[in-house]
Amino acid sequence: MEFRIIKKSKISRARLGILKTSHGVVETPCLVPVATQAVIKTLTSEEVEQTKSQILICNTFHLHLKPGEKIVKSAGGLHKFMNWQKPLMTDSGGYQVFSLGFGKDLKMGKMLNKEESLSVKSGRQPKSLKITRDGVFFQSPINGSELFLGPKESIKIQEQLGADIIFNFDECPPPIADYEYTKRSIERTHSWAKICLDSKRSGQVLYGIVQGGKFKDLRIKSAKFISGLDFDGFGIGGELGFDKKEMFKMLNWVTEVLPAEKPRHLLGNGHIEDLLKIFKSGVDTVDCIIPTHYARHGIAFTSSGKMDMAKTIFLKDKKPLDKRCSCSVCQNYKRNYISHLLRAKEITALKLLTFHNLYFFNTFIEKIREEIKKGRY
């Protein structure tokens, strides 16, 4: 891999970059759509390419469960398996430590909508899994059997999957973890990071993940530790505070420490209204489910804001989703038709909305790159 910064902003930490991999070039900043099961739901790989998507991220944990990394490897690796010729990432499985653990127990995501009085204290374990010094014992969401995933196992699985960029195994702490829990959590993540580096045998690019929760000293400590190891790039993971303001503060704490010459990836957060600030903080790539997840719930992103296409009002609307959008959906279909398909529960509605939303997000970020180039961001 080669990462080259071609322009730095004079008014923020934003930068334009070129990320070269064995499967092609990625212009940064950019969106990394989430292909959990080696697919963007409802779209073929050829259709995803037409949305201007440059790189995708697949889920190590779920692909380990089915079809299994051996099946993928025997098919020639993820690229051939899913017929995607552009770059790919795989996450480490670390997010599932949270989502299938405290996230499931407490019914919360990585960011809280309001301040909680509850807290997760040091030593507490989730109900459905056990976090140990060596890794995590999960209960399979498929059949309930026990399975173990640690740093060595994560790297071995990711090597067999064969993505261009892989991540070290980490623990994503819950957003209500107290200081002592978070401190012990990053100690585990740092130990696992060194094991991941020692375990890797392939020529894949390996990113190290910075954790530390909402605590400034722990975030900075983690950023310094991870950047001191021989990683090719960095992921910024974990919980992101009580609100967006806290999230942006955290990003700036971390990007101020990370070496400028290596790429930075924000894991699992990319609301469209936040993307500009995320990139202005010095992040190069970001993965998120927003454009595809919202599409499957009937929501279209447009230059006029989000629209719930299942509403009756759109049945009489003969306009395209967005007259300013040049995607094939906006050029060929009207709001009334898409609304009808949604109300009739036809899967084609989700396909059209997914295509449009991805194209809209990628075009939005394309414009951000243009503005950085012009020195406006």
> pLDDT per residue over 29-84, tens digit each?
999 999 999 999 999 999 999 999 999 999 999 999 999 999 999 999 999 999 99
Q: Which residues are catalytic?
A: 91, 287
Based on the fold, state whether residues 318 and 218 are members of the same structural domain. no
Question: For position 122, which CATH number holds?
Answer: 3.20.20.105
Pairwise CA distance, residues 90 & 35, whole Å:
9
What value, to the nearest 5°, has the Cα angle with vertex 163 and ends 162 and 166? 110
How large is the C-alpha radius of gyration of the chain? Answer: 20
List, for residues 220-239, the tens digit of each pLDDT value: 999 999 999 999 999 999 87
Indicate the SS3 state at residue 266: strand
Mean pLDDT score of the chain: 95
- Higher pLDDT, residue 107 or 11: 11
Residue-number span of the structural domain to which 357 is assigned: 300-377
> Can you list the positions of beta strands (E) in 85-230?
88-90, 130-131, 136-139, 146-149, 165-167, 205-210
Q: How far apart are CA 348 and CA 196, in angstroms?
A: 42
- Please report the pLDDT score of residue 139 as a whole number: 87
Whether residue 23 is found in the same domain as residue 143: yes
Contact 267, 95 (CB under 8 A): yes
Higher pLDDT, residue 173 or 196: 196
- On whether residue 251 sits in a domain, the answer given is yes
* Tokens coding 162: 């064969």
- Flag whether 294 is in a domain: no
How sure is the predictor about 110, in pLDDT bands with cuts at 50, 70 and 90? low
Query: Are 95 and 164 members of one domain?
Result: yes
Q: Which residue has the higher pLDDT, 122 or 350?
A: 350
Write out pLDDT tens, residues 200-211: 999 999 999 999
Tokens representing residue 300 in the block: 């279209």
- Asked whether residue 268 falls in the same domain as residue 308, the answer is no
Instruction: Choose the weakest-confidence range: 28-37, 139-148, 252-261, 329-338.
Output: 139-148
Number of domain units in the chain: 2
In angstroms, the Cα distances linking 84 to 35, 55, 81, 204 are 11, 9, 8, 17
pLDDT digits (tens, 9 = 90+) for 255-278: 999 999 999 999 998 899 999 999
Under 8 Å between Cβ of 176 and 167 = no
CB atoms near residue 256 (< 10 Å): 12
Asked if residue 206 and residue 124 are part of one domain, the reply reads yes
| Model pLDDT for residues 274-306, shown as the tens digit of each residue | 999 999 999 999 999 999 999 999 999 999 999
Same domain, 209 and 98: yes
Q: Give the span between the Cα atoms of 167 and 156, in whole angstroms.
A: 12
Q: Which string of DSSP letters, residue by residue, matches 226-268?
A: HHTS--SEEEE-S---SSHHHHHHHHHHHHHHS-TTS-EEE-S
